[in-house]
Amino acid sequence: MLFRKGAEAHLFLEDLFGRKVLVKVRVTKNYRVTELDLLLRRQRTVREARLLHAAKRAGVPAPTVYLVDVDNATIIMDYVEGGTLKELIKSGRLPGEELRKRLYEVGKSIGRLHRMGVIHGDLTTSNMILSRGKIFFIDFGLGDFSRSVEDRGVDLHLMKRALESTHYDVFEEAFGIILQGYRSSFSGADAVIEKMWEIERRGRYSER
């Protein structure tokens, strides 16, 4: 069953021996030559599977990878059922104390990813799902392996921008708590946070 159509992949919800799984297929793009198309789809499939695995090793809840079919640019992974953090914040369903705990958890997870050299690449509240009592990180499709302060800074900056635009009413407190969590799990946090402010000041992202 087709579940969602993204810019580069189609997602299907299927049954694998009684288990709900998500099948992510990176589709052929007919505008580019076959050689490049195959190369990109294979490369990105392998990278995403590796990133998902690395996230779990870092102690960050993420979908379990069941199968990687490189030739067909397909990943079969655990379907993480639950509401997104975005919905949770917007609905106001979660009591303040509980929400603060969750945001701290998010920050802690980002710190763990960065400590492992994993850059998520698209940290938004839509890519975080509360399931089985934990916040799962999904969609590592734009991610990369890197230990550079710059890449980590950009990653954090994206999280900040996502919060600012989607949850402007609680942004300041929410981001503050995320940073606390981030510092708690990653010793290089302060340098990255400093870099994040610098990235913002660089002017690309602000009025001059």
Partner 1 sequence: MFARALGLKHPGGPKVEELAGEGKLFIQLPYVVKGMDLSYSGLYTAAIGKIGHCRIEDLCYSVQEVCFSMLAEVTERALAHTGKREVLLTGGVARNKRLQEMIEYISKEHDAEFHVVPPSLAGDNGAMIAWTGILEYASGRIIRVEESRVKPRWRLDEVTVPWMEES
Binding-site ranges for partner 1 (CB under 8 A): 6-8, 29-33, 35-36, 39-40, 121-122, 142, 204, 207-208
CB atoms within 10 A of CB 94: 16
Cα dihedral 179, 193, 124, 135, rounded to 10, equals -40
Phi and psi for 80 in degrees, rounded to 5?
Answer: -90, 110
Q: How far is the CB of 144 from partner 1 (least distance, A)?
A: 8
Pick the closer one to partner 1 by CB: 95 or 203.
Answer: 203
Token pair of 47, please?
């990278």
Instruction: Determine whether 122 is an active site residue.
Output: yes
Q: How far is the CB of 34 from partner 1 (least distance, A)?
A: 8
Phi and psi for 25 in degrees, rounded to 5?
Answer: -115, 120
Contact 31/20 with Cβ under 8 angstroms? no
Pick the closer one to partner 1 by CB: 65 or 154.
Answer: 154
- The C-alpha R_g of the chain, in whole angstroms, comes to 18
The rounded distance, in Å, linking the Cα atoms of 124 and 158 is: 7
Pick the closer one to partner 1 by CB: 97 or 204.
Answer: 204
The rounded distance, in Å, linking the Cα atoms of 2 and 10 is: 7
Pick the closer one to partner 1 by CB: 78 or 122.
Answer: 122
Q: How far is the CB of 20 from partner 1 (least distance, A)?
A: 26
Contact 76/23 with Cβ under 8 angstroms? yes
Active-site choice (122, 139, 151, 155): 122
Q: How far is the CB of 147 from partner 1 (least distance, A)?
A: 17
Q: Show which residues are catalytic.
A: 122
